[in-house]
Structure 1
Amino acid sequence: MVKLVGKEVGKLGYGLMGLTWRADPPSQEQAFEAMRTALSLGANAWNGGELYGRPERNSLHLLHEYFTKYPGDADKIVLSIKGGVVPGELRPDSSKANVSRSIDECLKVLDGKKFLDLFECARLDGKTPLEETIGTIAEYVKAGKVGGISLSEVGAQTIRKAHAIHPISAVEVEFSLFSTDILTNGVADTCAELGIPVVAYSPLGRGFLAGLYKSPSDIPQGSFLKFLPRFQPDVFDENLKLVKQVEELAAKKGSTPGQVALGWVLAHSGKKGWPEMLPIPGATTVDRITENMKPAQLSEEDMAALSEILQKFPVQGARYHAEGMKHAEA
């Protein structure tokens, strides 16, 4: 069982990004139904962001509305929020002034409806001393306003340095069959050594591994996926080959490819020297959430087959475009 800030959470968490950060976000009614479904099925670690939407409408506003209607759910959920960017932009600012502004704004919008269990800077700006950034969040932890500190998209050296400044409660990084870097770049090893759980975002390869996209034209207009290297027409079909192999394995197991992808992440959790892993798939419909909450149980033979697939069909393209990778250490 994974623990975040000393609290037990389900084997899968729930990513809130798609509920407020998309060209055509779902209605409040649909969002609430999705959130209640996730919680009812055991996903009590929720992950949102001040940057997931507009300054006037993001995860915090949705959460405030949710906990106003369902106050009894507040203590059941471990909430992690990403911030630390310039309001209205995706530009990180890890300075004391902006990190304080970000946390204060999150607390203001939540308005006491829900405790802020974890706060993390979505990215570090690369110029503010880490001591200043972590030290600022630590002040809120010591004051009892925030439960703990999480890190996002950082490398092994930063994890180690930050943990020495103040204990780190979680590290959020991309991890899936489409993004296996943490197994070889020292991030997973460092987290295992320090006893820090990994929060695996995009465990379904942003929907690619769930079989949502069979051609570039399947990607909705306005979706930021259209700008990501792995979804570009020149590499799309190559990456689809990996998905088709996963689909074949899933069919043999009576599972969906998404369930196999989630099972693969969970198969690493706490095994063979790896840290505890918490996948946080995001979904906006009851059917998709219900599917995600039934990850496939993978045997050693299944894992070996998936390793062979990864070797034969390496993912083409970077995780983000060049500008986006500037602040992604891992």
Structure 2
Amino acid sequence: MRMQDREVVVITGASAGVGRATVREFAKHKTIICALARDEKRLKETQDEIEGQGSIARIFPVDVADHEAVMAAADKIVAEFGRIDIWINNAMVSVFSPFHEMTPEEYRRVTDVTYHGFVYGTMAALKHMRPRNQGTIVQVGSALAYRGIPLQSAYCGAKHAIQGFTESVRSELYHDNVDIWLTMVQLPAVNTPQFEWTKSRLPRRSKPVPPIYQPEIAARAIHWAAHNRRRELNVGITSSVVIFGNKWAPGLGDHYLAAQGYGSQQRDEPADPNAPDNLWKPVPGNYAAHGVFDDIAIKRSPQVWMNTHRPLVAGLAAGAAVAAYAFLRKERSRPLWS
């Protein structure tokens, strides 16, 4: 496959979790993948995976909170490959803590990575996409972009900010008649290493709120969103329920989460107060896409399939409705007895 025929894809937070799963998904398609993350060792392991699948890899040990480093990485990518076709903003950090125990420094750090990292990535992508009037930017969001939950106020605030920022930039692109597509993928709870290394003040070890999905489901959805012009893509039935439920009954959500939101984010085991966390620097270790919840994580999502096959689903529904109508007409015309 010729170099000029391969997509040039940038993925932040690429060395673990959803980012690592997304790298693997794109690597199946003989892509040029430029992976950004902080941990150089895991980036090299990611590079080996990409090249083992027949794709081309470039790695950049970058903290996305450093806007100059993000811009420099984008410049190097374009200098080598001539363009960026797809930019996927995914890197994140969080803190599990009641708000009143958070420090300003922690709040700033979560915001700098999880929100400003998306802003800087979008800036870098548009710098090189706008002259070509072509490209796609995928913002990896969350149902928490619409519905905040307790114990993660900084992360929820950042995801809300990404949603508003994305709408604003999208409107500007429409105004300027720029043919660059900006989409957001709203994820459910995902089985990633996040819950092993996120800074926490909780008395018990943290966990995602069930139901928990495997990261491959998210990765396939991100790949689909990068190639289909959908404004937003909700992943998993829980994301749709949370987002639409919050529109209709946000007060009910407040009270439900006040009662259930603390326990549902904690395991039965006590937390280790001396456990390392990745807020300021990466945690070393053999982490990849999956976390420790493989035994309970959902491997397939009918909702995602239906959401990414809407014309087919609509056609099947219409066919079923026509068949049902014809059957009922036939039954009505049949004599009650013969």
Q: Normalised by the size of structure 1, how large is the TM-score?
A: 0.37
Q: Which structure shows the higher helix fraction?
A: 2
Q: Report which of the two structures shows the higher radius of gyration computed on alpha carbons.
A: 2
